[in-house]
Structure 1
Amino acid sequence: MNKMGTVIGFTFRQKARTKSFIWTTIILALLITIAMNIPYLISIFKGDTAGETGGKEQVQLGLIVNDYTTVADELEQYSLTQSVTPVEWVHYPSAGDDKLRTAIAEDQVQGYVELVRPEGEGAFPQVRYASVDDEPSEEIVSLLQSGLQKAKTKAVAGDALSANQIAQITERVAIDSREVSKDEAGGGNGTAAEEQVGDINYAIIYVLMILFFTSAMMTGNMIAAEVTAEKSSRVMEILITSVSPLTQMFGKIIGIFYVGMLQIVVFALVVGGNLLLPHNEAILGQFDLRLADLNYAVLIYGLLFYILGYFLYGVLFAAVGSIVSRTEDLGQAVMPITMLSLVAFYIGIFNIAASDNMLVKVASYIPFTSPTVMLLRIGLDRAAAWEIWISLALLVAAILFFGWLASKIYRTGVLMYGKRPTIKELRKAMKAYKI
């Protein structure tokens, strides 16, 4: 056990200190940061005042009240309570006012709202919104509709309703939508169809699947490259006299697993830090992404499936690395494993909108694809607890089987030089070495 710890510690320190690992981690962290801040960066380059208003665009609009002072006051009060688009109202006497025209020409206001007397009888005014842009802002239109609806409700109800009741009437009804399959629609109890999946769960699933694929491939190739490099430099012949091949293999796998976990922790801190920025909090609100809707089971099971999936692919990469004598041949040798991981990734990504089809259900039990596909079903509440545990049990059984097979290949392959041996040659060598 002491030798195993030595191999784990040596492998971790050696890989974590390499320039390639450090620079890859830094570059990926920068790319994540840039991707999460693209809307804010765009607003800066466009010259918006987002940085001065906590990440929210400040809008100045002209307001032509005419004889509707009460309605205008209600609209202004309502806009003050909204955090999506802060509006500063500037009063003008009429749409033809010279000051208003000058303000529009000099980009001091982004448009104007005019309260116009309706044709025929009517106590509530017609509203005209003129925007400087080619297309009026959807956020401004939404704010005007909500604010004027509240003013209209108050004007009609008078003192019959309290301010709280008016606020409840004018509050928009939140609707969570999801796709329902034919099986669910005719299932009888309808409980599955009533489940709601927040948008944030889709985002988390995308991130976790991409993270699993990139991390598993990077760390898997590290394992194979480490073994092949030691074998090609003949260092393996020295190491094998002091440490058993089995201890070497699992020591390297565990050591590089710690390297992968370190990278994931760094990425998690980068994502968390960016989410805490004020302008990103506003963007999450605009896209209706609420942490309260997050299915935390997907994070717990996601970590569990990542660990087990890593070890399954890790033992395969170690076995393949042990039978390759030159690093130049490694890319071709690991291609089948890379293709397996790509299949798992693509099944998950391209079926996120149709997570109840037969392909997804079958793939969620296959050990090579279950780390991503079952994660998809968990995140969208499409998997029962017994299905998850069956998938985990099959994944553990696959790790034990392929770990046993990989250890036999490893013990034989590390001492075989020359061209890459065939399966038949490996079987002969195992029998000769009584492995």
Structure 2
Amino acid sequence: MGDVKNGNVWLILAREYRQRIRTRSFQVITALGFVLILASAFAPAVLDRVQSATGGSTVAVVQPEPGLVETLRTALPEELPNGEPRTEIQAVDSRNAAESGVENGDYDGLLISQGSGSTRSAQSGETSYVYRAPQPGAEADRIQEALSGVAAEQRLQEAGVSGEEAAGVFAPAQLEVEATGGGPSGEEFQATYWLVYVLVFLLYMTVIQYGNMVTMSVITEKSSRITEMMSASVRPVDQMAGKILGVGLLALTQYGLWLAAGIGSLVIGRARGDGLGFGLDAVSPATIVLFLLSFVLGYLLYASILGGLGSLFSRMEDAQQIIGPVIMLLLAGLLITIFSMSSPDGALATVGSYVPFFSPMVMFARAELGSTAGWEIALSYTLLAATVAAAVWAAARLYRTGTLMYGKKPSLAEAARMVLRG
């Protein structure tokens, strides 16, 4: 990719970086992402306040049987963050008044029990739940679960089974989930899964964004004849190298700011005793290093290809016919990664992690979620680095020829011949 020791490469890199970092769109997106990531530390507290402000549900019970109200309250112990019950049970005497209350919004639902005897309707199933259309929400499910528990307890008591004996019978079996090969398991896997999902999608979006930025830069300068004027003093390969490295440095700047916000968010979340499902332990230094390596190599691969192909065109609209298939390759890598995340050691993930066009995302996910050996990771990234070197070599040849071409729209076959002829 040109001679990085060449002063021209650094001049173009600095020019590209300064020009892009001053754009309003980059500043707004970067600042917005920074604020949103940092604000995520306070999301649990905000959700708690919203839940507390909106309050729980109130369910009316018409002429309840003796003990039913207290039994339901005991069976529905869940509380809001402010300590109030999520489901408040109230006894009412008039069904008509209770139904009017449901229509008016005074009650969220109406429980009508029939039969006689202490909470007998729960056991016999002679209970109905009235709600305001169109949806009963989750309240009906909670009521049904509570009634089922009450009915089961009644049947056990009638069969002569004490509460302690019943608790022993229904006690869940203890099962420890452990993965072979040192991979994450159980709750750790779930936390790592969602972290990897977010990072893979971020990787996909930023490679597309900054790869297209390189393409647009190349096409814009070619259409305005700037490239021709610069070619008198700067080699085309140095021009391309400066553009790719300058835009890549811009991406790393954005990543650095977002990473700082993410670490700050996790630190604040841990200090507050809450979070969004994963803690600092899920974001190890090895994860950050592997993610940045995946981005750098993935970006260099696709930016080189897109920059080289972009040099063949003078308008972005014309370039879409040949750039589209490249973007589809990246999209295929994202889909393979998503499909294989639930089985990171499966055949699809294993094969995809050795295909350089897919491996920046697939191998990153596999290394984080599966039991991948060190030599497999090394082999995957070695193949990726070799493909990056080949893509840079081919892009340099395309750029040298393409920046002087005008008018004709070349096909992929013609582009391949340009690479071979040099």
Kindly indicate whether residue 218 of structure 2 is the aligned counterpart of residue 227 of structure 1: yes
Q: Show the 5 A alignment for 1:346-361.
A: 346-353=335-342, 355-361=344-350
Alpha-carbon separation, structure 2, partners of 1:360 and 1:353: 10
Distance of aligned partners of 1:333 and 1:147 in 2 relative to their CA distance in 1, 3 Å threshold: same
Q: Show the 5 A alignment for 1:21-420.
A: 25=29, 52-54=50-52, 58-62=56-60, 66-68=65-67, 71-72=70-71, 75=74, 78-80=77-79, 86-87=85-86, 89=88, 91-92=90-91, 94=93, 96=94, 99-112=97-110, 128=127, 130-133=129-132, 136-138=136-138, 141-142=141-142, 145=145, 195-196=185-186, 198-262=189-253, 290-291=277-278, 294=282, 300-353=289-342, 355-417=344-406, 419=408, 420=410
Distance of aligned partners of 1:53 and 1:337 in 2 relative to their CA distance in 1, 3 Å threshold: closer
| Contact 2:204–2:334 (8 Å) recurs in 1 | yes
| Contact 2:48–2:81 (8 Å) recurs in 1 | no
Alpha-carbon separation, structure 1, partners of 2:84 and 2:138: 11
Alpha-carbon separation, structure 1, partners of 2:340 and 2:230: 46
User: What is the aligned length?
Assistant: 388
Alpha-carbon separation, structure 2, partners of 1:106 and 1:138: 20
Alpha-carbon separation, structure 2, partners of 1:230 and 1:270: 35
Alpha-carbon separation, structure 1, partners of 2:231 and 2:20: 20
Amino acid in the other structure paired with 1:110: D
Alpha-carbon separation, structure 2, partners of 1:313 and 1:228: 16
CA deviation after TM superposition for structure 1 residue 108, in Å: 0.6
| Contact 2:291–2:364 (8 Å) recurs in 1 | yes
Alpha-carbon separation, structure 1, partners of 2:380 and 2:221: 36
Alpha-carbon separation, structure 2, partners of 1:120 and 1:339: 66
| SS of residue in 1 equivalent to 2:186 | coil
Q: Deviations over 1:19-38 (max 9, x none)?
A: 56567x49996xx99xx9xx
Alpha-carbon separation, structure 2, partners of 1:316 and 1:324: 14
CA deviation after TM superposition for structure 1 residue 12, in Å: 2.0
Tell which deviates more after alignment, 390-399 or 417-426. 417-426
| Contact 1:56–1:85 (8 Å) recurs in 2 | no
Amino acid in the other structure paired with 1:376: A
Tell which deviates more after alignment, 348-357 or 234-243. 348-357
Distance of aligned partners of 1:294 and 1:248 in 2 relative to their CA distance in 1, 3 Å threshold: same
Amino acid in the other structure paired with 1:132: Y
TM-score (norm 1): 0.67
Q: Deviations over 1:115-170 (max 9, x none)?
A: 88876999x988956241466544564477469969969x9868x89xxxx8x999
CA deviation after TM superposition for structure 1 residue 315, in Å: 1.5
Which structure 2 segments of 5+ residues have no match?
A: 41-46
Counterpart residue number, 1:6 = 11
Distance of aligned partners of 1:290 and 1:27 in 2 relative to their CA distance in 1, 3 Å threshold: closer
| Contact 1:130–1:136 (8 Å) recurs in 2 | no
Alpha-carbon separation, structure 1, partners of 2:212 and 2:326: 10
| SS of residue in 1 equivalent to 2:66 | coil
Distance of aligned partners of 1:355 and 1:73 in 2 relative to their CA distance in 1, 3 Å threshold: closer
CA deviation after TM superposition for structure 1 residue 271, in Å: 8.9
CA deviation after TM superposition for structure 1 residue 236, in Å: 1.6
CA deviation after TM superposition for structure 1 residue 406, in Å: 2.7
Distance of aligned partners of 1:241 and 1:175 in 2 relative to their CA distance in 1, 3 Å threshold: farther
| Contact 1:61–1:87 (8 Å) recurs in 2 | no
Which structure 1 segments of 5+ residues have no match?
A: 37-48, 179-188, 431-435
Alpha-carbon separation, structure 1, partners of 2:403 and 2:196: 39
Distance of aligned partners of 1:80 and 1:402 in 2 relative to their CA distance in 1, 3 Å threshold: closer
Distance of aligned partners of 1:138 and 1:199 in 2 relative to their CA distance in 1, 3 Å threshold: farther
Amino acid in the other structure paired with 2:328: M
Distance of aligned partners of 1:306 and 1:425 in 2 relative to their CA distance in 1, 3 Å threshold: closer
Counterpart residue number, 1:433 = none
Alpha-carbon separation, structure 2, partners of 1:336 and 1:125: 63
Alpha-carbon separation, structure 2, partners of 1:291 and 1:193: 16
| Contact 2:213–2:247 (8 Å) recurs in 1 | yes
